[in-house]
Amino acid sequence: MIPKLPSATVAIMYRFQERIYNFGAGPAMLPNEVMEIAAAEFLNYKGSGMSLMEVSHREPLFEDVLQEAESLLRKLLNIGEGYSVAFFSGGATLHFSALPLNLLKEGESFDVAHTGIWTKKAWEEGLKFNGVNVIYDATPNNFTETPVLTEADLSGKGKYLHITSNNTIYGSQYPKLPKIQSIPLVADMTSELLSRKIEVADFGVIFAGAQKNIGPSGLSVLIIRNDLIGISGRKIPVLLDYSVMIKNKSLYNTPATYSIYIAKLVFEWLDKLGGVSKMEAVNEEKAKLLYDFVDSSSLYVCPVQKKSRSKMNVVFLLKDKKLETKFLDEAEKNGLHGLGGHRLVGGFRASIYNSMPLSGVQKLVSFMKEFESKA
């Protein structure tokens, strides 16, 4: 029999002080406030005697969660009536397959601005179904830059333009998102959605895996302009078919109910904090603190060009490579977790998504200063 923990014990288990700062790129840390609500509601959701995890997706208890999650997301991003929202069981990668199948007829192609591994993956997947036109390639500058894209950069053949707005692995980001009128702009915003204000009306499709700024991994969010739904006329595997998922309000099959519930709590948390513009100001402060310190130091260096630096994933290197293992070990001992760079890039990366408080970045900077003074 599972012992019933007294609520005081549960409270202690989830005490703020016992949680470390997780700078990992994802699954990333979630707000303490969200985790505490989830813990408190875990065994008995709203007096039902069940965990929400055990509730049918067809019951009002869950339907309310789903509906609130969508309406909060609409409010936070100011998503207009002309757009549909759906939650998918499957990460952002699912959309690399779904996008061409939903938006292109056989024989058509899409444009891609290649700024890192995630555009490469989208392009490779797209090639299985359609043509791909690479209209920009950041390979020669080792992905340290994002382009300023205009209509003139388009291939003229592509039916939409695919971009990754924030390059999680290389730590680059479009400082200003492109405005393209002639074809729909499709943006993978996995590692930045809800971190800064965007004009949804500038996009045909926005999609994001949840595990950075939204909630648990394995869930993704789709925002699509209504006139783009069902335009390919192709036979599409049902769970990749945007029109089926939207028509059924994300309930064609059993959705990732608990993940959607956590996403709803995250949206509520963000809304209570003052929404995306408030969060954007905090994110700018955090990123400035870290980049200013790195730029002023003689041990650390950021390889990304200043104009394209990500406010979500701060990539840096140690000038003295011999100190790398020591840096990571000592960071861990100080409760600063997940600072290793992506396995393909090396170096270090501090992911400072919405849930990373300013105090986490302050602690990281103090640690880095102290480490440098002893190096």
Ligand X SMILES: Cc1ncc(COP(=O)(O)O)c(C=O)c1O
- Provide the annotated binding site for L-glutamate: 58
Which of 158, 162, 159 minimizes the C-alpha distance to 174?
Answer: 162
Smallest distance from ligand X to CB 164, Å: 5
**Residue 59 neighbours by CB under 8 Å, 6+ apart:** none
Can residue 119 be called a binding residue for ligand X (CB under 6 A)? Answer: no
Smallest distance from ligand X to CB 165, Å: 8
Taking CA atoms, 297 is separated from 286, 316, 318, in Å, by: 17, 11, 10
Which residue's CB atom is positioned nearest to ligand X? 91
Stretch that binds ligand X, among 66-74, 91-99, 224-232, 257-265 (CB under 6 A): 91-99
Can residue 92 be called a binding residue for ligand X (CB under 6 A)? Answer: yes
Can residue 191 be called a binding residue for ligand X (CB under 6 A)? Answer: yes
**Residue 217 neighbours by CB under 8 Å, 6+ apart:** 26, 27, 91, 209, 210, 211
Stretch that binds ligand X, among 27-35, 185-193, 232-240, 279-287 (CB under 6 A): 185-193
Can residue 188 be called a binding residue for ligand X (CB under 6 A)? Answer: yes
Can residue 118 be called a binding residue for ligand X (CB under 6 A)? Answer: yes
CA–CA dist 172, 146 (Å, integer): 7
Q: Is the CA virtual torsion 45, 48, 51, 54 positive or negative?
A: negative
Which of 313, 28, 335, 365 minimizes the C-alpha distance to 173?
Answer: 313
**Selected binder of ligand X within 84, 91, 184, 308 (CB under 6 A):** 91
Can residue 88 be called a binding residue for ligand X (CB under 6 A)? Answer: no
Interface positions, 4-33, toward ligand X (CB under 6 A): 26
Task: Give phi and psi for 360, each to the nearest 5.
Answer: -65, -40
Taking the least distance from each CB to ligand X, the nearer of 28 and 318 is 28
Q: 140 in helix, strand or coil? A: helix
Task: Give phi and psi for 68, each to the nearest 5.
Answer: -65, -40
CA–CA dist 266, 97 (Å, integer): 27
118 is catalytic: yes
Can residue 250 be called a binding residue for ligand X (CB under 6 A)? Answer: no
Long-range contacts of 237-241 (CB under 8 A, 24+ apart): 237/101, 239/88, 239/89, 239/90, 240/94, 240/97, 240/98, 240/101, 240/102, 241/98, 241/101, 241/102
**Residue 223 neighbours by CB under 8 Å, 6+ apart:** 77, 79, 83, 84, 85, 200, 203, 205, 206, 207
Stretch that binds ligand X, among 15-23, 141-149, 183-191, 281-289 (CB under 6 A): 183-191
Smallest distance from ligand X to CB 90, Å: 7
Taking the least distance from each CB to ligand X, the nearer of 168 and 232 is 168
Taking the least distance from each CB to ligand X, the nearer of 210 and 365 is 210
CA–CA dist 364, 335 (Å, integer): 9
Smallest distance from ligand X to CB 84, Å: 20
188 is catalytic: yes
Can residue 93 be called a binding residue for ligand X (CB under 6 A)? Answer: yes
- Residues in contact with ligand X, counted by CB under 6 A, come to a total of 12
Report the greatest alpha carbon distance in the chain: 67
Smallest distance from ligand X to CB 171, Å: 11
Q: 88 in helix, strand or coil? A: strand
Active-site annotation holder among 111, 123, 159, 188: 188
**Selected binder of ligand X within 89, 130, 146, 164 (CB under 6 A):** 164
Stretch that binds ligand X, among 137-145, 186-194, 244-252, 277-285 (CB under 6 A): 186-194
Smallest distance from ligand X to CB 372, Å: 29
Can residue 340 be called a binding residue for ligand X (CB under 6 A)? Answer: no
For 279, half-sphere exposure in the C-beta direction (CA atoms, 13 angstrom radius) is 28
Taking CA atoms, 146 is separated from 143, 174, 209, 291, in Å, by: 8, 6, 21, 18
Taking the least distance from each CB to ligand X, the nearer of 178 and 209 is 209
Smallest distance from ligand X to CB 26, Å: 5
Give the catalytic positions in this structure: 118, 188, 212
User: Residue numbers of the site for ligand X (CB under 6 A)?
Assistant: 26, 91-93, 118, 164, 168, 188, 190-191, 209, 217
